[in-house]
Amino acid sequence: MAIQGTELKKKIQELSSNLYGELVRIRRHLHRHPELSNEEVHTAEYICSQLEESGIPYKKGIGGNGIVAVIKGNKPGKGCIALRADMDALPILEENPVPYRSEADGKMHACGHDVHMTSLLGAGKILFSLKDSFSGTVKLFFQPSEETYPGGAIRMIGEGVLKDPGVQYVIGQHVINTVEAGKIGVKAGAYMASTDEVFLKVRGKGGHAATPEQVIDPILIASHILVALQQIVSRNANPVIPTVVSFGRISGEGRTNVIPEVVNIDGTIRTYDEEWRKKIQEKIAEISTGVARSMGGDCEVIFSPGYPVLVNDENVTAKVRQWSAEYLGEKNVMELEARMTAEDFSYFAREVPSCFYRLGIRNEAKGITSNLHTSTFDVDESCLETGAGLLAFIALRMLNG
């Protein structure tokens, strides 16, 4: 008979507690040896070694360095759910004075992907030990290249990870520094923004800065373009649709007395509406080229598409919220606000009903408060026990009720 209810909760909590020391060891190994997007070769080898040690069957080389492990329950019945973790690190030099500090110069798991992989491995170990007590199939997706477009999710989907057997739901877990360890956060509906990059190349006529009448100043043109583009959010966007148009880099190879020929401007576009997403690009191109031409120059506009809006299925998210409250207690399940950051988990969520929730890692008493993507980012490692156990509990509640 399948383990259910309070018995299931207690069993998984016991198993995750017993695994805690091993989970810390795994996470610290992964943290010491980060690899960037599309370079996760040794990371994949280590994950495979952990799966082999547990007897969990897997296939590697999916969507690049991705891995898909499959755990089938021995009870009669169907159903398939997937759990996903990303694998890649960031090009950041770690500044934490900890024994597990990154040994890869200029590379760091500053977004918690080491925690994601460890939690998923832990959940896999728990589920594999319980396979005689549940029906259906759980797939474990270890996904490469989340941090670099086009991302590993769409490649893994293209190679059939959602098929044979067909995946009904995908659950993703990601750390968050604003929620305390031992708690999680959820939000139904649109949760994370689409993201596109824009590159403007403003051309003028260079020359000596002391003879402005002989030049067409691309720096001045670029300045007017940047100011004009602010009206997209303030005057063109529907106020109820979150929108960001930001520019983080401007460069012109001039000097104090040299006006350059070209100025480059690089930025990002984020929103929650796919139709408006297209119109923003049209507006940027229209304004940029129009301003440049009106001042005697021209502007080339190039867009690099990014990830779509991440939408958490209302029904699946309600279940995740309910089962998280069962497992952690109602007070430990937080309601999140929408974010303008982006995630390629959105590709999974476009294919099947999915939920992407947040795992708390904050501990103010220990000074663990730094934001993601910073050189001092770290986690309260007690989150590993929470993360592994909750993933396993959600998977079995999703399969067997």
Catalytic (active-site) positions: 307, 381
| Cβ-Cβ contacts under 8 Å for 255 (sequence gap 6 or more) | none
> CA distances (Å), 85 to each of 111, 144, 152, 172, 231, in order?
12, 9, 11, 7, 39
| Cβ-Cβ contacts under 8 Å for 144 (sequence gap 6 or more) | 37, 38, 40, 44, 63, 64, 65, 66, 86, 87, 88, 152
DSSP string, 290-351: HHHHHTT-EEEEEEE--PPPEEE-HHHHHHHHHHHHHHH-GGGEEEPPPBS---TTHHHHHH
Sign of CA dihedral 157, 316, 195, 33: negative
Count the Cβ atoms, other than its own, within 10 Å of residue 365: 6
Residue 373 and residue 92 in contact, taking contact as beta carbons nearer than 8 Å: yes
Strand, helix or coil for residue 212: helix
What radius of gyration, in Å, describes the C-alpha atoms of the chain? 24
Question: Apex CA 111: angle with CA 109 and CA 117, to 5°?
Answer: 70
Strand, helix or coil for residue 172: strand
Report the C-alpha gap between 155 and 126 in whole angstroms: 28
